[in-house]
Amino acid sequence: MKALTFSTFGEPDVLEYIEIPDPRPTPGCAIVRTEAIGLNFADIYRRRGNYHLQGQPPFIAGYEAAGTIISFEGACPFPIGTRVVFADAPFANAEQVSVPFDKLIALPDDISADIAAAAALQGLTAQYLVSDSHKLQAGETVLIHAAAGGVGLLLVQMAKRLGAKVVGLTSRADKMPAVREAGADEVLLYNVDWARQAQALGRDGQGVDVVYESVGTTLLDSLSATRIGGHVVFYGMAAGDPPHIDPRMLMDGSKTLSGGDLWNVLTSASERRQRAAVLFDWIRRGDVRVNIAKRFALADGAQAHAFLESRRSSGKVLLIP
């Protein structure tokens, strides 16, 4: 089979599309022939060498894909031929992937492989952010970083569905319409004193109730944009490591800073499938629309990485085997 690999860390040009042995079924795992693979910033971090990575060179990134079960060993909960998606199994940037049974999520007939691969990891991430990391309440004002990205656009829609006032942040003026279309009440640009503007848009002009922070380097500004007693949820570092925070800053403003990681939420097969069922229902009803920014052939993975890193994308980038 073919896979998108890298043997050294660096820029997108380290990626190589090569022939490697097909994975063999092992007890408790199914072989999935992939049809659509989700590209995420975590894959870029892995390629750069600053994020957890499994295996030995040549490394295969990717944790998210949709496809069809073609073989398995053991008591698989789904028969051969079942359409499935997974959000947390390694080595997904390949034509075939070995996936543990408990990571498999069966796809409803009306959810395509493209939509599933575009929604699984980022949709489940947005879902736990608004329901677990900070249980968003109607009437709260929320500031969403990278609002035109894959998670961002989904967060905007889910926050509006829950009755929040949504302020979106994006890096380019040409991305602002997509954020507004997703339902944002206000859209701000990073290059125009966004922390002060966001603070003014909060309750009585005193700051927003919650910030979903995924950029990293902007963490201090996110804290300054929150009201007294506000909450910043840190769940990503797309632009680099966050600054160190003096706990006295949190004490002085009675503010809360918490972290969020999807892997701490998807703790069992039943939890994974129940949350996915809710997400698929939101998609089916039109409460959440999944935006696919661009599709690239898996062989053109270097171009896909460069495109995602350029921040020109609005929505999800897919790799197609």
pLDDT along the chain (321 residues), means of 10: 97 97 94 97 89 89 96 95 96 98 96 96 94 95 94 95 96 93 96 95 94 94 96 87 90 93 90 96 93 95 93 85 97
User: Can you list the alpha helix ranges (DSSP code H) found in the chain?
Assistant: 41-48, 113-128, 150-161, 176-182, 194-201, 219-225, 247-252, 269-285, 301-309
What is the distance between the alpha carbons of residues 145 and 235, in angstroms, rounded to a whole number? 11
What pLDDT score was predicted for residue 110?
A: 95
Where residue 234 sits, what CATH number does that domain have? 3.40.50.720
Note the pLDDT of residue 51: 79
- 76 shares a domain with 6: yes
Judge whether 87 lies within some domain. yes
Where do the DSSP E strands lie in 56-121?
Answer: 59-60, 65-73, 83-86, 96-100, 105-106
- What is the rounded CA–CA span in Å between residue 79 and residue 92? 21
- Residue 45: the pLDDT is 86
39 Cβ contact partners less than 8 Å away, ≥ 6 residues apart? 62, 296, 301, 304, 305, 308, 316, 317, 318, 319
Domain boundary among 210, 240, 259: 259
Residue 127 lies in a domain: no
Question: How many helices and strands, by DSSP H and E, does the chain display?
Answer: 9, 16
Domain finish residue from 206, 238, 259: 259
Same domain? For 116 and 163 the reply is no
Q: Is residue 42 part of a domain?
A: yes
215 with 286, same domain?
A: no
Whole-number Å distance between alpha carbons of 88 and 102: 10
At residue 239, the pLDDT reads: 78
What's the rounded Cα separation, in Å, for the pair 287 and 140?
Answer: 19
Q: How far apart are CA 12 and CA 44, in angstroms?
A: 8
Residue 215: exposure state from Cβ atoms within 10 A (0-12, 13-18, ≥19): buried
Residue 132 in any domain: the answer is: no
Q: Is residue 204 a part of any domain in this protein?
A: yes
Both 214 and 251 in one domain: the answer is yes
Give the dihedral sign, CA 266/305/183/228. positive
Domain closes at, from 212, 241, 259: 259
Residues 214 and 275 placed together within one structural domain of the fold? no
In the structure encoding, which two tokens stand for residue 108, read together?
């409803």
Q: Bridge partners of 86?
A: 65
- Answer yes or no: do 278 and 246 share one domain: no
Number of domains in the chain: 2
Whether residues 219 and 291 share a domain: the answer is no
Give the pTM: 0.89
Sorted by sequence, the CB contacts under 8 Å of residue 226 that are 6+ apart come out as: 143, 199, 202, 207, 208, 209, 210, 211, 232, 253, 255
Contacts of 95 (CB under 8 A, 6+ apart): 1, 2, 3, 33, 34, 298, 321
**Do 116 and 143 belong together in one domain?**
no
pLDDT at position 237:
79
CATH number at residue 90: 3.90.180.10
Which pLDDT tens digit goes with each residue over 210-245? 999 999 899 999 999 999 999 999 998 777 788 899
The reply to whether 199 and 251 lie within a common domain is yes
User: In terms of domains, do 239 and 284 share one?
Assistant: no
What pLDDT does 216 receive?
87
Secondary structure of residue 241 in the 3-state scheme = coil
158 and 106 assigned to the same domain: no
Q: What range does the domain containing 18 cover? A: 2-120+266-320
3-state DSSP assignment of residue 181: helix
Identify whether 171 is part of a domain: yes
- Give backbone dihedrals phi and psi of 36, rounded to 5 degrees, phi first: -150, 135
Residues 243 and 303 in one domain: no
- Joined tokens for residue 28: 């408790």
CA–CA gap between residue 201 and residue 306 (Å, rounded): 34
Written as one string, the DSSP assignment of 252-287 is HTT-EEEE--GGGT--SHHHHHHHHHHHHHHHHHTS
